[in-house]
Each structure stands twice: as C-alpha cells, then as structure tokens.
Amino acid sequence: MKKTKKHRAVEAAKKTKRRQTSNGKARAEGLRLFRLAGRPSKQDFVKVYGANGPKMTWTERAKAGVPARRFQSALAAKQSGR
C-alpha cells in the first residue's frame, strides 16, 4: 500500500523529538523561579528591588540579596514597614 503525503508527514512528526535549547532551558528556569516567588507583579518587583527590579534577571536579584524563594517574605516586610 502506498503511503500518502499526509501519512508520511504524521510519521515524521512522531519520530522527531524536540530538544530543549539552552535558551529554552534558561527561560524555563526563569519561569520556575517566577512561580516560586509567587508570580509577583511589576510593582512588587519595584517595592523589593527598586526601580530596576523588573529589568533584572533572577540571578541579579539573588545577588541583590533576595532570592526567589524569599521574595514573598521580603515583600511582606517592605509592605508592613511603610
């Protein structure tokens, strides 16, 4: 039996596995840290890290003293200390 063009395309799609690129891995890690921090808004980043907070990477934020896992506690401290 002759395979149709559509059938060959479906088989090819099944065979190919997508590998995650280094950019994809970095983005996935950034999203994981964003969820770990409690999905903060831009205003939350500004309250904790200052004006450049939203522009910083998670590595830069950790070097600034507040890693993702401690973001919510830092935010609470900033909000209660108004």
Tens digit of each residue's pLDDT (9 = 90 or more) over 26-80? 999 999 999 999 999 999 999 999 999 999 999 999 999 999 999 999 999 998 8
Tens digit of each residue's pLDDT (9 = 90 or more) over 5-29? 777 777 776 666 667 788 999 999 9
pLDDT at 27: 93
Q: What values do phi and psi take at 52, rounded to 5? A: -85, 0
The separation between CA 57 and the C-alpha centre of its own chain, rounded to angstroms, equals 10
Region of 50 please: left (phi>0), alpha (psi -120 to 50) or beta. left
Domain boundaries, the chain: 40-82
